[in-house]
Structures are given as C-alpha cells and as structure tokens.
A and B are shown apart, each in its own frame.
Chain A
C-alpha cells in the first residue's frame, strides 16, 4: 500500500496527529528509562552475599547489665542453640552482609605509615563464622582455634597502645585480593589496618559482601579470628536445613528466653528476611516504576483508541467512497494500521531523542549510569505493538463501513 496518501491525509489532521506523536514520544522516553531503572534495581537486589543464604537464621539480643558475665552467657547460649534438633552450626558474628545499621569498617593500607588509605574494608569477626556462613574457601585455610582472641582483650591492648592482643591473621575475599594485589598470590601477604597493625592473609574466600556502604565495592570484606559476646553486639547465626528455619528460630528463641527471661530480643529472622528487608526500598521502587509503566501504556493505548475512533468516524464517507471504488475491507484495515504505524514511528523517533535527554538528566541528578542503547529498540517494539493492538478495534470498525455510505450525504 502506498504511504503517500496516508501522509497527505495525516497532514489534514496536523494538530491531533502531532499531539498523539508527542504523547507517544513522552511515553517512549519515560518507559525506556523506567525499564532501565527497574533493571538497575533488580541487579542490586540479586547481588551475591557469598553465604548459604537459605540456611541461615539470625537472633540478636540486647545487652543486659554491665556485661561482666556476657562471655559465659554467650558460651551457654551457643551450646544451648547447638543442641536444638536440626541445627548444624552456630556462630557469633558482629555483622551480616546486606543489613542496615552500624557496620564495622576500617581504612586499609598496604604499607605501614602510608599517608592515604588504599581503600575501606568491612571487618567481620566472631566465633565459627566461615563454616557457619558457608563461605567458599578458595585458597589457604580457615582459622585455627589458637588464633582466636577475645574482642575485649584486643581492644584493651589497643587502648594501652599495643597491637599484641590483636589477631595477626586475616581471611579476605577474592575480589579484595585482586584489587590489592592484581595478578599476584594473596596468601602470605600483609596489609595494615587501624593505625599500623599488620595482618597476614591466610585464606581467600570466593565472596562475602559488605553490610552496606557499597561506594567502593561490595566485595571489600575481611574476616578476623576474634571472639565476641552478644553484649558486644554479636548476633547468633544459626545454620540449618532451609525447611527447618522457622522451627529452629522458634526453638532457639524459646531456649534463649529459658536461659534468661529478662532479655530483649533485638532481631529474630531468617537471613532471607533480613536480605529482603535490606532491599525493600529497591523492591518498592521497582514495583512503583512498574505500575507507572503499566499506567502510561494504558493511558497512551486508550488515547490511541480514542483518536483512532474519532478519525474513523470522521472519515466514514471517505471510506465509503473508497469501498465503492473497489477497495477491499483489507485495504481499509491496512490503511488505518499503516497510519498508526507511521504515527507511532514518528513518536518513537522523537521519543528516542527524549529518552536519551532524560537519561542525561537522570545521570546528572541521581548518579545513574547512561541508558544503554539496547533499551531503545525494545521500547520502540513495545510501543509499535501497543499501537497496533489499540488501533485494531477502530480499524475493524472502519473496515466494516459499507460502500453504500458513499451515496449518503451525512
């Protein structure tokens, strides 16, 4: 079918056609960027923590009293938790990946006395952490029992100006090892933290994400062989079969309450819950973006239906004349489909430029990466499809106009 007559007739509806093109362009610009924003959020939500996520349960208690008997209490708690049927391992740990709140971070230096720190790392420590979290040890070894020191002893010695009471060894992530010593073997290397305390790398794990603060890499985490108590902010991390988590959590809480009924439970959750709480904002935002996309497509689709119906109604006589002169129903149907294809096409061309401009604006104000070009043809395809679906009903109505209309005046 010839395009020229369609263009010529469109020129007679300049204003309405232009409005529709503008609407499609705006929709295209917003939908492309919104889809990209959703993909960004989804990517964030799928970041690996490095742990056996579906097998972990966390219980955190508030400190009671002055904490003088916290050590024995922690030991008793861990022993009691371990006796619960279904529990495989129990750890005490200071923080978990992807959780809000205070995180222990340190400035890492490669040489003693270095003026500027190389990067910031998240510092994990506690009893039995590597195996309970289910971290994947790639090289080296796990901590030996004799390497462990108590957190309070380490801090006390630090306050006296000596690093002797601090652990000497450290396990780091593969990502951190590659950043610190690209292409080199990390085992046996030394770095410095908290002033100039040296730490020797004895093991490398595949992944362990930071709790929060991802601005210089989520993989920058280290592990120390250091014991802590629940009163010092330690969480009990319990590993069990995925199906047993709810039961273990319930039994664990009951057991801890039994040991001391007066304690305050600050946190009781499966790790999956903790993780989804951390990403709740992202998930809410992508839901919101998705509903905006749907609403936009709906509004634009209905707008096309409305205008197309109007055009069909206005051209009833013209259609009748064409039918009388020998045009088939298919010709009329195709006429409106091609007309819509052209209008949406113009809208998409304008919309792509707008999408790109909008992306630049977003980059400026919200620290987002640029819209990848791949999203543009996707948006174009979606809008063309929408246009064809929306125009189908009015076009069919047009095709049904009988040739006899040509002989009537109104």
Chain B
C-alpha cells in the first residue's frame, strides 16, 4: 500500500512541478536556517564539563561597595564577579570543599629558545594545584604541581599539547625549560588537547571560546615574576606591582563538592566568612552568591543575545515556511478533488486517502530536509566567516544531522495534516457529477 502511495505522490509531483519545487525549496530554506542557528546555539550553550559540572561551583561576593548603590545601578556587576586575592586565598585555605582552585588569566609572552624565532603571546592560566584534578584535565606527560611548589614560588609550568607540538614537535618535553615573560620555567607536565567550550574558568578574562590556553603556571610563582591578570576591577588606587594587597578583584575561586547537595553548607560557610570580614571592616556588603557551573554561564550571559535573537528569527522564518507549505499543499489537494472523488467511489476508505496525502507531505518534508541540510552547511560556512571567537567551531554534528530530519519530518507532517484532512472529507458524489 505504501509503495502505491509513493507512486501516486511521485505522479502528483510530476503534474505540478513548479508547485512542488516551491514547497521543497521553502521548507528547505526554513529548516536550513533553523538548524544553522540551533547548531551554533548548542555549541555556545553546551556544558563544558558534562561529567563534573553538577558538582562544580563558584562563589561570588561583593568585594567592597559600602556606598556603591548608585554605582551598582549604573554599572551592573562592576567587579565582574571576580574576587580579591585576599578573599580567594582565605577561602582556598579554609578547604571547606573537596577541591578548590583560584584561577586568573594572563597574556604570557613565550620565547622559544631556537635562534631565529620570535616570541609570541599565548593564554597563561595562573592557578593553584587542584585545578587539574578538579576540572579533569588530561595529562599526556608528567603532572601538575603541589601546594608546596606554589608557596615556594617554584618556576614550574604545565604546557598545552598545541604548544608542545609547536615547540617540541609533540615529544615528551618534561624537564625542558621554557622562557615565559623572560623567566625560565621548568616544564613538569604536558596536557592532552584540552579546550572546554566555553572557557568557563576565565570568563571575564578574554575570549569565551577558543582553542585553549598555552601555559598553566602556579599563581604565586607567576605573580612573583610580575605577570598581570588580563582583567582587574579596582575600587581604590591600584598598585600593579602588589596586586595581592591592592583594592582590586582579579581572580575567580572554583570549588568542587563530593555531592551537589554540599553547596548549601558551603553557602552558609561563605555567609559566615563575609560577616566575619564585615566585623573586621574589610567587607561591607553581606550578600553572597554560589553559582553552579552552568548557573554561572547563564549569569555571565555566555550565549550572546544576538544569537538568541537569530535563533528566534530562524524559527519565525520556519513557521512562515510551514504556513506557506500548508497553503500550497492544500491548493494542490483541492485541485485534485475529482481524483479523490474517483478513488473514494472506487472503494478507497477515508483513512487511505488520509494516509496517501500524509505520505505525500512526508516526501516533501524529507526532500526539504535534504535540501535543508545543504542550506545548513552553507549557513554554517557563512557563520565560520563571522567575526566571533566561536566562529571556527561551528560544524554540523551527527545529533544535529538527525535533528534536521526530525524537524523536517515533523514540520512537513504538521503542514500535511490540514490538506490530508480536507482531502479525506471530500464527498465523492458531487465530484463525480461534473465529469
């Protein structure tokens, strides 16, 4: 029966070529636009660490702002959700969570030792030992550093796989020296490729998406060599030589709990800490926040609002395309009232007519889906040429590939419902009379 319907559908397409092409093209355009924007949206709103994110949290406190009500209104989140060194280190040393790490980002000037090569800049993560275990960072060679190394300002560095490929042709470079900001650092670890999207651990310090950072340095060692964070927010005169004691926020604190439920107790601890510091006169605002990883991404509005607008626009476009297809399918089916009348008179049941028309719209949908896939690839090609840090990451993945066909099929079946219904309620007698 299905093959018969298929045959009928193909015959009907042949009869109205222009109309058919129009429907498929319209549906394809709508599906292509929606899938393009959905792919980018999925890329940007993805979970950077799916296995860990539920247990990872970042606390935020208002580092100063006794009289900043006006300023807060004027400049929301004026401290960029960063923390001062003093607060972050106190909370780090309190060890109230399973693991904790302080992070910030610097522009590291990396100088290859090979003659004839020029120095270049790369992302430098300044952090504390738990960083690697906490974020499940994979090592190819060697490992991270200890808390003792940090305290001793040891000049050790963990490098990315990309940097290792560039400087050491991908060989085990543990023990070799690397010049960072004109200081010699000993390589103690080499990572496997690691670039979580978005780069959640340095959200306020530069590009949100990218190919990952080049070097990872102990925070205290790097600071001893005067490496500066790429972003800091100050509420008084800052002395960049002594960022640790300046009235500035320039680090993030990340904590990992055994269970997500431990967050409640941690927030209590955080409140106590702030109250204690307020009593000492160091802090002035009692409010504290504890964001889960994904909650933090939402708060920092990682997904650009332009993109959400584009996605909504694409779906509006798809809606119009579906309405258009419904109209055209309906026109086609009314055109064939007589044929339906004949089929009904010869014994076809209503549900058969219904099925026949649904098969026809499904074929339109699947063809539209294939075309939509082509349009989506073209759309993503265009996205890759857009000026955004995530642009080059935009590729169609298998799940989106499947989603394309799901969207196409559902869209076309919805579009086919009304015409198929109208077709199966056609009363045969009047149609036959006019012959």
Tell whether A and B belong to one assembly: yes
- Interface assignment of A228: CB less than 8 Å from any CB of chain B: no
A262 at the interface (CB under 8 A from B): yes
Residue in A15, A194, A299, A309 whose CB lies within 8 Å of B321: A299
- Bound CA–CA A155/B435 (angstroms): 97
* B71→A107 contact, CB < 8 A: yes
Give residues of chain A (238-266) contacting chain B, Cβ–Cβ below 8 Å: 261-262, 264, 266
Query: Quick check: B327 and A303 within 8 Å, CB to CB?
Result: yes
Q: A116-B70, A195-B236 are in contact. Are A303 and B324 (CB under 8 A)?
A: yes
A16-B330 contact given A30-B313, A277-B387, A295-B317, CB 8 Å threshold = yes
Q: B80 CB to closest chain A CB, in angstroms?
A: 11
In the complex, which of the residues A102, A262, A266, A296 has the most CB atoms of chain B within 10 Å of its own CB atom?
A296
Within 8 Å by CB of B118, from A159, A264, A310, lies A264
Contact A159–B239 (Cβ < 8 Å): yes
Q: Is the interface of A mostly helix, strand, loop or mixed?
A: helix
Within 8 A of B (CB), among A17-75: 19-20, 22-23, 26-27, 30, 34, 37, 62, 65-66
Q: Which of B26, B71, B334, B386 contacts A16 (CB 8 A)?
A: B334
- Output the nearest chain A residue to B241 by Cβ-Cβ distance: A159
Q: Indicate if the CB atoms of A102 and B109 lie closer than 8 Å.
A: no
- Tell whether B290 is near chain A: CB-to-CB under 8 Å: no
Q: Among B146-154, B303-311, B358-366, which stretch is in contact with chain A?
A: B303-311
B388 interface residue, CB < 8 Å from A? yes
Q: Among the listed stretches A90-98, A201-209, A279-287, which one makes contact with chain B, having 4 or more residues with CB under 8 Å of it? A: A279-287
Choose one: B19, B310, B334; the contact of A314 (CB below 8 Å): B334
What 0/1 readout, one digit per residue, does chain A (154-169) give for beta carbons within 8 Å of chain B?
Answer: 0100110000000000
Asked, given contacts A117-B70, A155-B239, whether A16 binds B327 with beta carbons under 8 Å apart, the answer is: yes
Report the minimal beta-carbon distance from B388 to chain A, rounded to whole angstroms.
7
> Cβ of B269 < 8 Å from any Cβ of A?
no
Give the chain B neighbours of A300 by CB distance below 8 A.
320, 324
Please tell me if B409 contacts chain A, counting CB pairs below 8 Å: no
Q: Is the beta-carbon distance between A281 and B306 smaller than 8 angstroms?
A: yes
**Which residue on A lies nearest to B75, using beta carbons?**
A120
Complex contacts, A362 vs chain B, CB 8 Å: 309
Chain B residues with CB under 8 A of A86: none
Instruction: List chain A residues, Cβ under 8 A from B70.
Output: 115-117
Task: List B1-36 residues whose CB lies under 8 Å from chain A.
Answer: 18-19, 22, 25-26, 29-30, 33
- A307 at interface, CB cutoff 8 A: yes
B320 and A194 contacting across the interface, CB-CB below 8 Å: no
Set of chain A residues within 8 Å of B30, measured between Cβ atoms: 299
A310 to B332, CA, bound (A): 8
Are B387 and A281 within 8 A (Cβ)?
Answer: yes
Closest B residue to A197 using CB positions: B237
CB nearest to B306 among chain A residues: A285
Q: Are the C-beta atoms of A299 and B69 separated by less than 8 Å?
A: no
In the bound assembly, the distance between CA atoms of A260 and B302 in angstroms comes to 40
Quick check: A299 and B26 within 8 Å, CB to CB? yes
Among B400-435, those with CB < 8 Å from A are 418, 422, 434-435
In whole Å, how far is A105's beta carbon from the nearest beta carbon of chain B? 9
- How many chain B residues touch A (CB < 8 A): the figure is 58
B67 proximal to A (CB < 8 A): yes
The chain A residue with its CB closest to the CB of B242 is A159
Q: Which residues of B contact A284 (CB under 8 A)?
A: 386-387
**Residue among B33, B75, B309, B320 with most chain A CB within 10 A:** B320
Q: Give chain B residues whose Cβ lies under 8 Å from the Cβ of A215.
A: 74-75
Q: Quick one: which of B336-380 are within 8 Å of A by CB?
A: none
Instruction: Give the CA-CA distance A262 to B119 in the complex, in Å.
Output: 7
In the complex, whether A350 has a CB less than 8 A from a CB of chain B is no
Query: Given A19-B323, A19-B326, A23-B323, A158–B237 Cβ distance below 8 Å?
Result: yes
Q: Find out whether the CB atom of B109 lies under 8 angstroms from the CB atom of A23.
A: no
Contact B320 A26 (CB under 8 A): yes
Asked whether, in the complex, the Cβ of A19 is within 8 Å of the Cβ of B319, the reply is no
What residues on A are CB-neighbors of B323 within 8 Å? Answer: 19, 22-23, 26
Contact for A264 among B68, B120, B327, CB less than 8 A: B120
B289: Cβ under 8 A from any A Cβ? no
Report chain B residues within 8 Å CB of A410. 435
Question: Could you say which residues of chain B place their CB within 8 Å of the CB of A365?
Answer: 305, 308
In the complex, chain A residues whose CB is within 8 Å of the CB of B29: 295, 299
- A residues less than 8 Å from B75 (CB atoms): 120, 213, 215-216
21 A-B pairs, CB-CB below 8 angstroms? A19-B327, A19-B330, A66-B182, A120-B71, A155-B239, A159-B237, A159-B239, A264-B118, A281-B306, A288-B310, A289-B313, A295-B29, A295-B33, A299-B26, A299-B320, A303-B328, A306-B328, A306-B331, A310-B335, A313-B335, A365-B308
Nearest first, the 6 A-B pairs at minimum CB distance are: A116-B70, A280-B387, A310-B331, A19-B327, A303-B324, A115-B67
Measuring CB to CB, which residues of chain A are less than 8 angstroms from any residue of chain B?
Answer: 15-16, 19-20, 22-23, 26-27, 30, 34, 37, 62, 65-66, 102, 107, 115-117, 119-120, 155, 158-159, 194-195, 213, 215-216, 261-262, 264, 266, 277, 280-281, 284-285, 288-289, 292, 295-296, 299-300, 302-303, 305-307, 309-311, 313-314, 362, 365-366, 409-410
Residues of B within 8 A of A (CB): 18-19, 22, 25-26, 29-30, 33, 67-71, 74-75, 107, 109, 118-121, 182, 226, 230-231, 236-237, 239, 304-306, 308-310, 313-314, 316-317, 319-321, 323-324, 326-328, 330-332, 334-335, 386-388, 418, 422, 434-435
Given contacts A26-B316, A65-B182, A309-B18, 17 further A-B contacts (CB under 8 A): A16-B331, A19-B323, A23-B324, A23-B327, A30-B317, A117-B70, A213-B75, A215-B74, A264-B121, A295-B29, A299-B26, A303-B324, A303-B328, A306-B18, A311-B331, A313-B335, A366-B309
